[in-house]
Amino acid sequence: MADDLLAEKAVVIQRCLERIREKYDNDPAAFLVDQDRQDIAVLNILRACQACIDMGQILIRRRHLGLPKSSRDVFRLLQQAGIIEPDLGANL
């Protein structure tokens, strides 16, 4: 079940990244002046970030790594457990 949730979250992240690329890569100049394109990109960045946090919480719960008090804590706990690289943990 947790693996299904992780897979679903990965699909959400992939879909968000595709949507961002679609709105930016097709016409970067238009992106800079089109508020709707920018809003779509921001919304999808937020969705992807939330999916990453959700995935982290699933792994933390599954491995009994502690109780994160914030989103930053999610990535700190994953880093301390060796699930994500220190550089990645520092940037998230």
Q: Where are the domains of the chain?
A: 2-65
pLDDT at 7 over 80: yes
With 70 as the cut, is the pLDDT of residue 1 above it? no
State the virtual CA torsion across 26, 31, 37, 43 in degrees, nearest 10: 100
Amino acid, single-letter form, for residue 47: R
Single-letter amino acid code for the residue at 15: R
> Is the pLDDT at 62 greater than 80, yes or no?
yes
pTM as predicted: 0.89
Separation in Å, CA 55 to CA 21, 27, 43, 58: 22, 32, 18, 5
Q: Is the pLDDT of residue 70 over 80?
A: yes
For 21-40, what is the mean pLDDT? Answer: 93
> What value does the mean pLDDT take over residues 63-73?
96
Q: DSSP labels for 13-81? A: HHHHHHHHHHHHHT-HHHHHH-HHHHHHHHHHHHHHHHHHHHHHHHHHHHHT----SSHHHHHHHHHHT
> What average pLDDT does range 24-36 have in this prediction?
92
The pLDDT-based confidence of 30 (bands split at 50, 70, 90) is very high
Mean pLDDT of 21-41: 93
CA distance linking residue 56 with residue 45, whole number of Å:
17
> Mean pLDDT in the chain?
95
